[in-house]
Amino acid sequence: MTVPDPLILASASPRRRELLAEIGAVFTVVVAGVVEHEDPALDPRVMVARNSALKADHVAALHPDAWVLGADTTVFVEGQALNKPAHLEAARAMLRRLSGRVHTVFTGIALRHSKLGVCEDLGVASEVEFRSLRDTDIEDYLRLVHVLDKAGAYAIQEHGERLVAARRGSLSNIIGLPQDEVRELLTRRGVLR
């Protein structure tokens, strides 16, 4: 039985590490030293596709004999992407903007293998409906959850019941890595057995 080439996750996200491990993947992590595109005016599907490809391409160039998985996630509401907040005031503003509204979470996935010439991309979308939040709800949430490393200033898996009224689509996508789609992609390419 041949051993597949190693898998590298090109992401610093601890949530992505957990989600990828949960589907049975054996991998190492190499954080891509790239500057992500975070233009809130850019179509969010294009932005996450560019960022996931940027990360995967960078790491694949350094590890041409490995499979490299890149991912990027953003929150999109009323025509604007809400990326990671720069500070708590920006996080408050994002949560106020999401209050009582439905938004879309987009994740871009890029799989690369330089030596084999594999360059595969996909995108996944899920919808989240927020409860109407008072300022006290927002402050309570910010006391409980570190949000500065999270698109849209929230994590559905961390006290999400305080914010979220409903969701449609993949929960793991909302967290940051759509497990079903990634499992199918890696299985089809022989990376997962």
* Pairing outcome for strands 102-113 and 27-29: unpaired
Give the pLDDT confidence score for residue 79 in this predicted structure: 85
Rg, Å, the chain Cα set: 17
Catalytic residue among 65, 72, 137, 149: 72
Give the pLDDT confidence score for residue 72 in this predicted structure: 94
Set out the domains of the chain in order of their start, with CATH numbers.
7-188 (3.90.950.10)
Q: For every residue of the chain, which 3-state class applies, written as one string?
A: CCCCCCEEECCCCHHHHHHHHHCCCCEEECCCCCCCCCCCCCCHHHHHHHHHHHHHHHHHHHCCCCEEEEEEEEEEECCEEECCCCCHHHHHHHHHHHCCCEEEEEEEEEEEECCCCEEEEEEEEEEEEECCCCHHHHHHHHHHCCCCCCHHHCCCCCCHHHCEEEEECCHHHHHCCCHHHHHHHHHHCCCCC
Print pLDDT tens along the chain (193 aa). Answer: 465 789 999 998 899 999 999 999 999 999 998 888 877 678 899 999 999 999 999 999 999 999 999 999 999 998 888 989 999 999 999 999 999 999 999 999 999 999 999 999 999 999 999 999 999 999 999 999 999 989 999 999 999 999 999 999 999 999 999 999 999 999 999 999 8
121 is known as an active-site residue: no
